[in-house]
Amino acid sequence: MFLLLLSSLLLISSSLSFKEEEDAPWCGHCKALAPEYSKAALTLKESGSPIKLAKVDATVETELGKRYEIQGFPTLKFFRNHLSIDYNGGRDAAGIVQWLVKKTGPPLTVLETSDAASSFVDQSNVVLVAFFKDINSDSVKRIEEIARHFDDHLFGIAHTNEIRDKLSANEDSLVLFKKFDERRVEYNGDFSMDSLKYFISSNELPLVVEFNPEISAKVFGSDVKTHLVVFLSATAGDSANRLATLADVARLFKGQIHVVYVNTDVADHLRILEFFGLTKEHVPAYRLINLKDD
């Protein structure tokens, strides 16, 4: 049934676009998503965005589920000009809003002042800014293409000396700003698509990634195919020292492996232990996996 849970916040239609969530009332992941979806709807409404959110109970609207070949719940699809694409962004309110804004706006935000650039860099955990006087250069065009590929990151373009000096960047450069680890990384490779993708995949995550359902797709779907999976109890007395050592290891092999920390104090993570043939008695435990042949 339409707007069963979020009806106080949602509008069903729009001349520009709408976003539709296929939901089932017994679905635990759907229930977890619902409040974030609600917050996203309110954020978009208050900002005056033309994007509208809608919700469908696909156990009732079965024909709609069949039409869009819905295989699991929740499934989110973005509709624009009668065409739909699968949603692949975050499952929190900020992630939903950011993905939608990115999809409906230009891939690169033009930054005209140093204040605008500083605010832009602070908007998200990972932000990339290109510093080029010629914003129509071939390198910028390739950065624009890569920006379309990474829906969950913001990309900006700055062409003034004022902004470049404010952010301590070099001319004709691309800098990845992040709110963790070393805080910023300047790209120093060629501006080919493969090199740019690899640079972002290698730097968009913390050195040690704490496993959760939201991050798993990004980790295991990245261009980095080798993963050191570490099972630790967060309450163990030596956990902080172990994590610090793991960060040093990850730094040495940056771009070659992801170090993924699974907190075994989380009940839902016990199934991951079981998948690797482990129990809590084996913790701390380490497993190296390679997905290159998958």
Catalytic (active-site) positions: 27-30
Smallest CA-to-CA distance from 120 within 167, 163, 156 is with: 156
Which residue in 79, 82, 223 sits closest to 150, CA to CA? 223
What is the separation of C-alpha 71 from the centre of its chain, rounded to a whole number of angstroms?
Answer: 22
Residue 162 φ/ψ region, left for φ over 0, alpha for ψ in the -120 to 50 degree band, beta for the rest: alpha
C-alpha span between 230 and 283 (Å, rounded)? 9
